[in-house]
Amino acid sequence: MRLLAPGRFLAILAARATPANGAFALFNNTDHSFNTATGFQALFTNRTGQDNTATGVQALFFNDGDPSNNETSYNVAYGDYSLFSNTTGYANSAFGSGAMAPIPVAVLIRPTVFRR
């Protein structure tokens, strides 16, 4: 990667047409092309996916699967933590904060309060 300006990176390893805007966006992108990442650590670990779009803090953060059958490719994630841990999905669309993201354990043990 090459630092273009504070917080703006361009993934230039073996990838083509892969813009990244945000600290550590597309940080671990190796040789996969046509990904777009905007936001802190968006598409942070993208070793196998191509043609993905991630917008938001840690959107598509862990995007890693089997490249032989296009796992983790053709996904769109808009919103913080959307599609956070995508290991086998492809051609998904997730919109909204935390959409299609795993639920943290802390949320499961927190008491729920219902009001009328």
Question: What six digits make up the tokens of 16?
Answer: 């083509």
Q: pLDDT digits over 3-33, tens only? A: 444 444 544 444 567 788 999 898 888 766 7
Residue 38 in this model has a pLDDT that exceeds 90: yes
Query: Which residue carries 């998904």 as its tokens?
Result: 92
Rounded to an integer, what distance in angstroms lies between the CA atom of residue 57 and that of residue 34? 20
Rounded to an integer, what distance in angstroms lies between the CA atom of residue 83 and that of residue 97? 9
Task: State the pTM of this model.
Answer: 0.73
| CA diameter of the chain | 56
Query: Which residue carries 């990904």 as its tokens?
Result: 35
Please, which residues have CB within 8 angstroms of residue 108's CB and are 6 or more apart in sequence? none
* Strand 8-10, strand 19-21: pairing: antiparallel
Q: pLDDT digits over 71-110, tens only? A: 889 999 999 999 998 888 889 999 988 888 775 443 333 4
